[in-house]
Structures are given as C-alpha cells and as structure tokens.
Amino acid sequence: MTSQKPYEEIAVVTGAAGGMGQFIVRQLHESGRKVYLADIDVDKAQALALELSPDGSTARAIYLDVSLRQSFVDALDKIVAEWGTPSVLVNNAAITRAADLMTLGEEEFNQVLTTNVDSIFFGCQVFGGAMADQGYGRIINMASLAGQNGGTATGGHYAASKGAIMTTTKIFARELADRGVTVNSISPGPHDLPVVHQTVPAEKLSGIISGIPVQQLGNPAFIAKTVTLLADEDAAFVTGACWDINGGLYLR
C-alpha cells in the first residue's frame, strides 16, 4: 500500500554521538525512520551512521553546533536538499557539568546556560518553522530532573538551563499547535550512562542509587522508546507536556 502521508519520516537527533543520543538514534532508526545524526563531533556521529546504514540511505551524519542559530539553518538546508523536511526533531545535545554554586564563574555559567537553552530555542524555531510549513512535525526536547528539583550532582548552571528548557517547550508548543507540530519534553532522572558515571564519583554513586525510590538507575533504552512514542503520528494530542522518568525522585 502506498503511504498517504504528505511528509516523509525523517528524524534529526542533536548530540547524536553521545550516550543518550546513540540510544535515541538507534530506536528511531529501528522504527523505520531515516535519521540524521547531528553533532559537533561529526566523525563519531559518522561512525554510528555507517554502522546503521553502510550505504547512507537511511542514516547520515551532519555537523551541527547547537550554540549557533546559523548552524541550525545550515543543517536544515542540507537535510532538505538531500532528503526533504524533517518530521521529527530530538533536541538532545547539552553540556553537562558539575560546579560549586557559590564560586561558579560568569564565563562557565554563560557557556552552559546559553548553549543548553539556545540549542532548544533555535532548534524549535528553525526546524519547527519548517515543520509548520509542511503541516506536520514532532519535536522532543530533553530536559532533566535537575530543572525540576534544583539539581543534585550537577551544577546550578545546568539545572537552570534545564528549567528554561521546560518553559521553552511550552512556548513553542503553544505557537505551533495549530499547524500540526507538537512540542514535548522528557525529564530524566539519573540513568545508566557514561555522563552519570563521569559526573558522580564512584564512591558516591551507591549513595545516589540508594536515594532513588526504585533503587536503581534508569535505563536509557526506555528513554529512547519514549522519544519514539512522542514522535508517533498518533501522539497528536500530546503537546507542551513534560514526561517525568525519574524513579520516583520527583513526584507531582
């Protein structure tokens, strides 16, 4: 049967070469979508793209510096020229750092806050606008428990940026809703990922886990499945939402 969709299932994942990004990319690709792996580390992204699609027919890497609006514009132009307008954008890229709150410097604060928030804002603005023009799109923004509870192992700059991401999600959800584009966020707690093991000293990790009501780290593969669910065509009635996946650490 010939598809009647007026768009092609093309997904773009930022920070695709990172730990969580790789899980998301694999799940979206497995779901039958073409996937663009967007990352500043384009060589690492390319290695994964070649693993998924040796001939480049269903997975490709693309350079994207999420701190720059023009980089989103350039990436979108290239994707549209090669495959067409994306139907899914996962804003996953972020800087994750721990820092002492009261001695946190201006330069580091601005780098983390600006990069993390700009990546979501301009991703929604640039790609969301293109999706709205085609009348369909699904945007999923990666927030964090740190943006809801003020952060624990991560720095105040990271927590502040993730709180802003949830607000930005609502702003664009309202703006794009009547043009077929949904915008949602996912707020993970600590998951079994390299960034968690790098951020939390090994001697403190068991204490972190014992403080999680379900007594374990989250499974990033489930985050990827949640992304794919929100990216589904049938998810049209979910927009402006934040899906909490935190093991019971934050309840509302």
Helices (H) and strands (E) in the chain, counts: 9, 7
User: How many of the other CB atoms lie within 10 Å of CB of 166?
Assistant: 19
- Of 51, 52, 57, 9, the C-alpha closest to 30 is 52
Burial bucket for residue 195 (CB in 10 Å: 0-12, 13-18, 19+): middle
Q: Is 36 a catalytic residue?
A: no
Catalytic pick from 7, 36, 63, 158?
Answer: 158
Rg (CA), the chain: 18
In angstroms, the CA 157 to CA 100 distance is: 10
Assigned token pair, 149? 């509870």
Question: Which contacts (CB < 8 Å, 24+ apart) does range 100-108 have?
Answer: 100/155, 101/155, 101/156, 104/155, 104/156, 104/157, 108/157
Q: Would you name the residues annotated as active-site residues?
A: 158
